[in-house]
Amino acid sequence: MSEPLEVFEYSSDHALPMSLGPFEAAIKSNARVLGMLYTGSLGRGSADRFSDLDIDLWVTDVAFTQTESTLHEILSSLGTVHFSYPRGAGCTAFVGEEWQRVDLWLHQRSEENLPSEYAQARILKDTDQFLAHALAAVKEEAVAVSWKQARTSIEEATDSQIYLSLHNARGAIWSALGEVSSRAMELYVLLAALRGSRSYGYRYVEHLLLPEEQVLLTQSWPTSPSQQEVRRAAHALWHWTRYVWQEAERCLGRSLLIEIDEAELLLAVDRIYHR
Q: What stretches of 195-260 show up as alpha helix (H) in DSSP?
A: 205-208, 211-219, 227-252
Could you tell me which of 189, 8, 40 has the C-alpha nearest to residue 117? 40
pLDDT digits (tens, 9 = 90+) for 177-232: 999 999 999 999 999 999 999 998 999 999 999 999 999 999 999 999 999 999 99
The two beta strands, 100-108 and 53-59, are parallel
Q: How far apart are CA 188 and CA 192, in angstroms?
A: 6
Q: How far apart are CA 118 and CA 44, in angstroms?
A: 10
CA distances (Å), origin 174, targets 118, 157, 222, 238: 39, 18, 10, 19
Under a CB-based contact definition with an 8 Å cutoff, are residues 55 and 36 in contact? yes
Under a CB-based contact definition with an 8 Å cutoff, are residues 157 and 241 in contact? yes
pTM: 0.82
- Specify the range with the lowest mean pLDDT, choosing from 2-6, 26-30, 209-213, 254-258: 2-6
DSSP string, 153-208: HHHHHHHHHHHHHHHHHHT-HHHHHHHHHHHHHHHHHHHHHHTT---TTTTTHHHH
* Residue of higher predicted confidence among 12 and 34: 34
Domain 21-136 has CATH 3.30.460.10: yes
Could you tell me which of 169, 170, 203, 178 has the C-alpha nearest to residue 188? 203
Q: How far apart are CA 149 and CA 35, in angstroms?
A: 38
CATH of 147-272, one of 3.60.21, 1.20.120, 3.40.50, 3.30.460: 1.20.120
pLDDT digits (tens, 9 = 90+) for 54-82: 999 999 999 999 999 999 999 999 999 99
Residue 84: phi, psi to the nearest 5?
-155, 155
Domain boundaries, the chain: 21-136, 147-272
pLDDT digits (tens, 9 = 90+) for 78-100: 999 999 999 999 999 999 999 99
The two beta strands, 90-95 and 81-86, are antiparallel
Q: How far apart are CA 243 and CA 37, in angstroms?
A: 41
